């Protein structure tokens, strides 16, 4: 805060090894999760959508509060089954 509190004064009392290990842990976990996520997205993109019948891949997933996207999800068994 300009004129009131310098960055060095506002440091939290957390020691360097704790900060370091959490940083490394976040990097490792994010690489795994986002790596796998990118792989699955690319695989989904490699397959063309089936058209009117709705995409089996999208229907075959967890139950969702909202649909996936308005377009392809509409009219799928999933979208139909969960109107209030």
Partner 1 sequence: MELDLPFIWAGLIAFAVLAYVVLDGFDLGIGILFPLFRERHDRDIMTNSVAPVWDGNETWLVLGGGGLLAVFPLAYATIFPALYMPIIAMLLGLVFRGVAFEFRWRTRRASGWWDWGFAFGSTVAAFAQGIALGALVQGIHVEGRAYAGGWWDWLTPFSALTGIAVVIGYALLGATWLNLKTIGALQQRARRIAVITGVATLALIGVVSLWTAFLDSVYFSRWFGFPTAFFSAVVPFLLALSAFALWHGLTHDKHLQPFLAALAMFVLSFIGIGISFYPYIVPGALTIHQAAAPDSSLAFLLVGAVVLVPIILIYTGYAYWVFRGKIDPEEGYH
Q: Interface with partner 1 by CB under 8 A: which residues?
A: 12-15, 17-18, 22, 25-26, 29-30, 33, 36-37, 40, 43-44, 56, 59-65, 76-78, 81-82, 84
Contacts 24+ apart (CB under 8 A), 69-72: none
CB of 67 to partner 1, least distance (A): 12
Q: Which is nearer to partner 1, 17 or 71 (CB)?
A: 17
CB of 2 to partner 1, least distance (A): 19
């Amino acid at each position: 805060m300009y004129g009131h509190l310098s960055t060095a004064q506002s440091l939290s009392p957390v020691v360097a090894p704790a900060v370091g290990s959490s940083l490394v842990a976040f990097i490792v976990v994010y690489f795994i999760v986002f790596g796998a996520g990118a792989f699955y997205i690319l695989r989904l993109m490699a397959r063309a959508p089936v058209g009117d019948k709705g995409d089996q891949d999208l229907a075959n997933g967890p139950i969702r509060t909202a649909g996936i996207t308005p377009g392809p999800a509409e009219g799928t068994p999933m979208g139909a089954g969960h109107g209030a």
